[in-house]
Amino acid sequence: MNKFEFFKTDAIQSSYGGQFSYKVIGPCCRLYDREELPWPCSRLAWRSKEPSWRRIGSRFVADMASRKCPSYSVQILEPGSKPVETVITLFSKKFSAEIQEWWYSKKPASKEAGNVYPNCVN
């Protein structure tokens, strides 16, 4: 992405196919829940099959499939039904290296309250 722009909070966007519209709640990172894996499952160390209560590592990890693309928490708006909240990942847009590091950073400085936008966007 040459010029990265966040979707504005409360902006209403339409899907690429035009099938539905959604209201943007805000940007988020898509996490993979390791507890949702079937039992028994392979350990991250790949030594053997073990039950879920003996898994090694964090329960929630960044979803590798969506690390290079922006994800947003959204509310899907369909006429005649209740709004549904979900996470949408825009796989057609790719992050630059700087934006990807900011969005999925493991560095302690990324948790600071003033780290609202990446340096290259400001």
Q: How far apart are CA 116 and CA 31, in angstroms?
A: 19
List the structure tokens of 13.
């966007």
Residue 8 three-state SS: coil
Successive 10-residue mean pLDDT values, the chain, 122 residues: 76 88 90 72 54 66 86 90 90 87 79 76 58
Q: How far apart are CA 90 and CA 81, in angstroms?
A: 24
> Residue 50: what pLDDT?
54
- Going from N- to C-terminal start, the domains of the chain cover 11-43+59-107
Residue type, 23: K
List the structure tokens of 105.
């950073």
Q: How far apart are CA 97 and CA 47, in angstroms?
A: 33
Q: How far apart are CA 31 and CA 60, in angstroms?
A: 6
DSSP-assigned letter for residue 32: E
Q: How far apart are CA 100 and CA 109, in angstroms?
A: 15
> Residue 1: what pLDDT?
43
Rg (CA), the chain: 17
φ, ψ dihedrals at 102, nearest 5°: -70, -45
